[in-house]
Structure 1
Amino acid sequence: MNTLHYAHWPVGLPHFLTPPETSVYTNLEISAKRYPSKPAIIFYDKTLSYAEFHAEVLALAGYLQQVCGVQRGDRVLLDMQNCPQFVIAYYAIMRADAMVVPVNPMLMTDELEHYINDSGAKVAVASQEIFPRMLPLVGKTCLQHAVVATYSDFLPASTDLTVPDFVAAPRQVPEQAGVIAWKDVIAAGHVPGPHLAGPADLACMPYTSGTTGKPKGCIHTHASVMFNVVGSPVWSGSINPDMVSLAVLPFFHVTGMQSVMNGAIYCGGALVILPRWDRDVAGQLITRYHVTAWTLVPAMMIDFLSNPRLAEYDISKLSRVSGGGAAMPAAIAQKLLALTGQTYMEGYGLSETMAPSHLNPPQRMKQQCLGMPYFSTDSRVVDPTTLQEVKQGETGEIWINGPQVFQGYWNDPQKTAESFAELDGKRFFRSGDLGYMDEEGFFFFTDRLKRMINASGYKVWPAEVESMMYQHPGIQECCIIASRDAYRGETVKAIVVKKPGSDVSAEDIIAWSHEKMAAYKTPRIVEFVDTLPKSGTGKVMWRALQEKEAANNP
């Protein structure tokens, strides 16, 4: 086990952390008992106390059990943008002893059908602007019940903040068997049975894609989720009931879910929720509610600091600014430091590790660095071919062993077996990311072993997009690669061979793609070619196309 980084370990913290042996829901139960009247959620100036929050959790959990028949270990789909109902539903599903299946709210009907069928979810909780995409699947798949939430139910009577139309929209829930409005569920006042879930029970299953095929569910127990819920705030020194977090990273994604939502509730802090990025509203909220913690992706900070109105906002109370998903440009990190005195804390993690496996220590934060393996975590850099550990400074695949590592992929024992390997008697998860370790034990990212595009922190898996593109009647062959983008970092590019006689245009393909898949996966650029390069076995040589793109757009 590498111990070089122990020389820079946060002062006073242990190398190994003992997490609570309780369910994740219990964190809310305890905070609600400790701080019943304290703000838990703030949504466009509407405040929900911990007692009010917990009461809605119990009512929804009771409905899930008594009306929908949810039982211990069942999967429940959760499909919303950031809002109070997402947080309530997340904890209600766990209170009902079930497993949360968080999905990206950008997903379209065809994509949702896979998540429903694969997870076997009989129940979904969704927001009303998204629900029309899910409605055709209710009663036609294993999905039998849907609770539909309206964001405006949680808005105050008035606010001077700019509220998007989709948030302000009045309640419009379709009348169909198995479909019920959130407000009616809460009003029914069902009481849940005893809470039975413990550390070994199923808790949460975020989906991740891979080099081939459909997205795969990452199985997490309460123990693996709980470890990072507790570990992150302990590491950064932010266990404080008076912490106020700006929650703008999506909750369905493990960083927003763990480092923001679950971490704040464990500490008894307040979540200031923003459903969609808006730099002016973010500035107003930070100022108005004295936000102390903000976890974000670099694109948000770039936009925020370029705002001509920046001087109007008081960001002096920020005591932790952190994130991951992509490296923060050095010039932006320097501007943040000059304005706030805050060094951007970078970290590294995956859906398979339920957020961080590596973090920079607060007293020594290196920029554009993944950080060091944190509490109870052993990470190595390994030659992906020989499966032998490489020397310090050499590049290899990042392997991870720790309490936060997932149990495996849902219904996919083969892919699970391929994703783990043994080293020194320990079972390590093979991340698929290439990197190296410096002389002080800090890890740096260099490349990907697996095909993946990182668009503003959203992971796009080319094989998944290609499989959708082949449904287009004018496409004969297609290869998806990354193209450099000044704002998103990378964006999706499709290299297409048309079917003979087809007069399809790039605009046609882009518009069609928007109807079929989530916006972040949709190609922004389409290039037509006569043929795609192929290997001797007939496989498309995507790497050659990717390298050509990088050479043409350095």
Structure 2
Amino acid sequence: MPAHDAVWPARLPTRITPPATSLWMNLAISALRYPEKAALVFMGRVWTFRELLQAAEHMAAHLSALGVQTGDRVVLNMQNCPQLVITHFAILRLDAVVVPVNPMNRAEELKHYIVDPDTRVAVTTADLASELAQASEALPDGRRLQHLVVTHFTDVFDPDRVSPEDLPQSWRSWLLPQHTLPSLTSGQVHAWADLVVQAAPVSLHQVQATPSDMALLPYTSGTTGLPKGCMHTHSTIMHNAMASGLWGNGTPENVTLCVVPMFHITGMVSLMHTNILLGSCLVIMPRWDRDVAGHLISKWKVTHWTNIPTMVIDLLGSPNMHKYDLSSLVYIGGGGAAMPEAVAQRLLDQFGLRYAEGYGLTETAAPSHSNPPDHPKKQCLGIPFMSVDARVVNPDTLDELAQGESGEIVICGPQVFKGYWKRPDATAAAFFERDGKSFFRSGDMGRVDEEGYFFMTDRLKRMINASGFKVWPAEVEALMFRHPAIQEACIISTRDAYRGESVKAVVVLRQDHQGKVSEQDIIDWCRENMAVYKIPRVVSFADALPKSGSGKVMWRALQEAEMAALDPAGKPQ
């Protein structure tokens, strides 16, 4: 009997049988059941399930006319907004595959998301369109985008009818401008606003996707090379969409604050797909703003809020906190970073809320572990999620370790991905067989306590966690090597009082650039060429990087020296 059986939620089975249908059917069925019920709220406007279904089918017809067929990969690159949900389900309606892309990526990074999944059609917002077009234009003929669909945020709301509480001044310069659409020399650019007023150009075939067909291709980085696509099927996503709803006491009456980005696996699965399956309401924020969050929770009586702990810290620190009513919340939890114990205690003392942390990876469709909402432990990954067999093994021998011993967390369950796109070598290295089961190697080190709760102890993989954003040093280094002044670069973690960890670059300049390039010059160049969360906050120059006998950079030596030079608050000693 697993150790965590004693704390398993009494109302829930340990394993579930998810629907054996396409993810599209979750929207279709919820629209049949609750046609006039609120599905989405954005900038004060309510979208019913009937309206959401119609919009998704209409966009699916246009994408089909642009040549999207069964199994095609379609890039979806935007911040949280109704257009993201509409397009996501439009792609699924065609039995095609959603390739969600982080909207912080710049043109140099975006080229990989066109070439690797063989993308021919992409959908994005107008503020990001020029980056995608630039990325496509830099590619050789035959690898470029054929169609780019571009939407303005204001395609779905009227700025003159939005309250300042919903649309703060700091967002207006981002959400409201009308951008000139880019052009593609060997492709076409289409305005969303034009498509939605045109009649459906084609009739749609019946949905034919099976549980084993690919539905999503989110990308994850690693210790080496470019990001890898994680092949998720309708069944892997369906399991965690259903399980997440059950775990959080989900009903059609849930009202969920959706500020966790839906391009990320957590927002995509545990929020968007879960709430569409439940027939419940998503209150959408395009990005984080503590006072908008407080206002929305109060106005819409939000019941469920999955977040990153830094968001909770920020909201509780608002000078306007006394104006907000959080009494409707019945569930609050998240992951990506540890919740400080003092903040978790304040949530309990002041609001009666127990913060439930969870753990998962892109490869596991978000949660593989979660704290029982009624019995959470602080700064803990939780217990294995529904249908999951998780263990701790010796990373060298793969032998299972005893309770309390630190080793690699490995995971077996129906939500685990089917492998890395075009990377059989990486797929083979990520799995091993034990007791007739296939286990995925997380690369994270942990231990299990006497009650079956898992705790993180270290990482096998070289990764920096900055406020829940995963930064992979090898990827940042590869981008930095494009700078003409950089001879060598090594990315390490440095402490950050707010983000927990931040990015530091140790750089060796080419001899002919020494004295001509400053640390700030390097940071400014990075800002132009990579997503903002990857940008080194600190750059230091070195005459040389430490190397092993085989010539490999000894990044761990630099990391240990950085930690030794800082006090616990993250300040130089």
TM-score range, shorter chain: over 0.9
Who is 1:63 aligned against?
62
Who is 1:399 aligned against?
410
**Offset at residue 339 of structure 1 (A):** 2.4
Who is 2:301 aligned against?
290
Residue 5 (1) aligns with residue 4 (2): yes
Question: Identity of paired residues, percent?
Answer: 53
Who is 2:571 aligned against?
none
Provide the C-alpha distance between the structure 2 equivalents of 1:338 and 1:132, rounded to a whole number of angstroms. 48
Who is 1:173 aligned against?
181
SS of the counterpart of 1:119?
Answer: coil
Residue 148 (1) aligns with residue 150 (2): yes
Provide the C-alpha distance between the structure 2 equivalents of 1:330 and 1:36, rounded to a whole number of angstroms. 43
**Offset at residue 170 of structure 1 (A):** 3.2
Who is 2:195 aligned against?
185
User: Does the Cα contact within 8 Å between 2:354 and 2:374 map onto a contact in 1?
Assistant: no
**Offset at residue 171 of structure 1 (A):** 6.0
Q: Which of 117, 120, 132 lines up with 2:130 in the alignment?
A: 132
Counterpart of 1:391 in structure 2: which amino acid? A
| CA deviation map 1:243-267 (0-9, x unaligned) | 1111101101011111111111111
Provide the C-alpha distance between the structure 2 equivalents of 1:47 and 1:75, rounded to a whole number of angstroms. 30
Who is 1:509 aligned against?
522
User: Does the Cα contact within 8 Å between 1:17 and 1:375 map onto a contact in 2?
Assistant: yes
SS of the counterpart of 1:33?
Answer: helix
| CA deviation map 1:30-77 (0-9, x unaligned) | 111111111111111011111111101001111111x21111111000
Who is 1:280 aligned against?
291
Could you tell which deviates more after superposition, 306-315 or 2-11? 2-11
Counterpart of 2:197 in structure 1: which amino acid? A
Matches within 5 A, 1:413-492: 413-492=424-503
Q: Which of 227, 235, 251 lines up with 2:239 in the alignment?
A: 227
TM-score by length of 1: 0.98
**Offset at residue 524 of structure 1 (A):** 0.7
SS of the counterpart of 1:428?
Answer: strand
User: Does the Cα contact within 8 Å between 1:137 and 1:143 map onto a contact in 2?
Assistant: no
Who is 1:117 aligned against?
115
> Which ranges in structure 1 are unaligned for 5 or more consecutive residues?
none
Who is 1:334 aligned against?
345
User: Does the Cα contact within 8 Å between 1:496 and 1:528 map onto a contact in 2?
Assistant: yes
Q: Which of 229, 239, 248 lines up with 1:236 in the alignment?
A: 248
Who is 1:210 aligned against?
222
Provide the C-alpha distance between the structure 2 equivalents of 1:125 and 1:266, rounded to a whole number of angstroms. 24
SS of the counterpart of 2:505?
Answer: strand
| CA deviation map 1:219-258 (0-9, x unaligned) | 00000010000001111212x1111111101101011111
Provide the C-alpha distance between the structure 2 equivalents of 1:175 and 1:101, rounded to a whole number of angstroms. 22
Provide the C-alpha distance between the structure 2 equivalents of 1:34 and 1:537, rounded to a whole number of angstroms. 64
| CA deviation map 1:393-449 (0-9, x unaligned) | 000000000000000000000000000011122110000000000011110001100
User: Does the Cα contact within 8 Å between 1:138 and 1:178 map onto a contact in 2?
Assistant: no
**Offset at residue 538 of structure 1 (A):** 0.8
Q: Which of 528, 542, 545 lines up with 2:555 in the alignment?
A: 542
User: Does the Cα contact within 8 Å between 1:470 and 1:476 map onto a contact in 2?
Assistant: yes
User: Does the Cα contact within 8 Å between 1:360 and 1:371 map onto a contact in 2?
Assistant: yes
Q: CA RMSD in A?
A: 1.2
> Which ranges in structure 2 are unaligned for 5 or more consecutive residues?
569-573
User: Does the Cα contact within 8 Å between 1:420 and 1:429 map onto a contact in 2?
Assistant: yes
Provide the C-alpha distance between the structure 2 equivalents of 1:19 and 1:504, rounded to a whole number of angstroms. 57
User: Does the Cα contact within 8 Å between 1:5 and 1:372 map onto a contact in 2?
Assistant: yes
Could you tell which deviates more after superposition, 131-140 or 517-526? 131-140
Provide the C-alpha distance between the structure 2 equivalents of 1:276 and 1:236, rounded to a whole number of angstroms. 23
**Offset at residue 385 of structure 1 (A):** 0.7
Could you tell which deviates more after superposition, 171-180 or 51-60? 171-180
**Offset at residue 9 of structure 1 (A):** 0.7
